[in-house]
Amino acid sequence: MDEHHISKEKLLIGPLVVFLEMGLIGNYMESIKTIKQVTDYKYPNIIKNLWYKHGFKCFHIGFYPWGIIQSIKGLPILFVQGESYYLLNKYQIGNDTSRILISGFLSGVSQGLILTPVQRLKTIAMTDPDFKRLNAYNILPKFVKKYGFSTLYKGVYPTMLRRGIDWSTRFYGIHQASNYLGKSLSEMTLIEKMGVGFYGGLLSGFTIPLDVLISKTQEYNNKKKNSYIILKEEIKRNGIRSMGRGFLLKPIGASYHTAFMIGLGDTLYRWIS
């Protein structure tokens, strides 16, 4: 008899862990990366301008309310990956590595679907030249009224693809690091879990071109263009190398986020389940 326990606890743990890591420096790193991908300013200039304009508050630009709401991006990752891996294993679909890749991809796709509207609003808040305040509440009614509800899902397809590939790679890296240590997550200490999560996040740096495309697609100035047109214009104007903007910060931010998600997330799950 199948006595599988559906890990509903992960639906709460995921957003909680994301909220904690974003509230520290995660939101700040993501803001710098987004500005870099949209403008291609030098990192020192971005940091200097943020501190000059906002001081210490630059750590939380767009965090209220969109960054807080964006914590929902942690909702599907641990849950969807765990449950889909269980089903793939139960029905003996593929080998263990392919199950890791597929379940990671499905978790990322589901994240991209629910995250796109919030990421869109946050990107607008950071790139709209008429937007002067840190509080972004007025953006939602303004843009939905003017451009319709569909504006919230601008860039959804590259976001789902990017998140799917991204998390597939991260979970593959976690799987490889776990094999290297010769331990499952349940056997690891918190530090070891964060270590394998850090390594998994580090591998996801190659998805940066999709990151750039998403940021450009969701930018305020590009609200009437689709991703394909924006991609062609960007490469024609700035060359193929422009699609690597933010490559320095991407692996750092991804490693930081994944270390929290896997390390703290798995520890909390095993503590309360």
Domain chopping of the chain, boundaries:
11-241
Please determine, looking at this structure, whether the domain spanning 11-241 carries the CATH number 1.50.40.10: yes
Name, in order, each residue with C-beta under 8 angstroms of 238's C-beta and a sequence gap of 6 or more. Answer: 40
Distance CA 270, CA 263 (A): 11
More confidently predicted of 78 and 214: 78
Burial tier of 30 (Cβ tally within 10 Å: 0-12, 13-18, 19+): buried
- pLDDT (tens digit per residue) in 196-212: 999 999 888 777 787 77
Residue 187: band (very low, low, confident or very high) from pLDDT cuts 50, 70, 90 = very high
Lowest mean per-residue pLDDT among 65-79, 90-104, 162-176: 65-79
- How large is the average pLDDT for residues 119-142? 65
Q: What is the pTM of this model?
A: 0.81
Measured distance CA(10)–CA(270) in Å, rounded: 10
- Per-residue pLDDT, 102: 97
pLDDT of residue 63: 78
Average pLDDT estimate for 26-53: 85
pLDDT at residue 68, as a whole number? 81
16-25 mean pLDDT: 91
Using CB atoms within 10 A of its CB, is residue 103 exposed (0-12), middle (13-18) or buried (19+)?
Answer: buried
Give the total residue count for the chain.
273
Q: What percent of the chain has pLDDT over 70?
A: 90
Is 90 exceeded by the pLDDT of residue 94?
A: yes
Query: What is the mean pLDDT of the segment spanning 105-128?
Result: 84
Least Cα distance to 100 among 47, 193, 3, 177 occurs for 177
Chain-centre distance for alpha carbon 212: 13
In this predicted model, which residue has the larger pLDDT, 102 or 149?
A: 102
**Poorest-pLDDT segment among 33-47, 157-171, 252-266:** 33-47
Residue 246 has pLDDT above 70, yes or no: no
Which pLDDT band, with edges at 50, 70 and 90, does 134 fall under? Answer: very low
Is residue 242 predicted with pLDDT exceeding 80? no
**Per-residue pLDDT at 15 exceeds 70:** yes
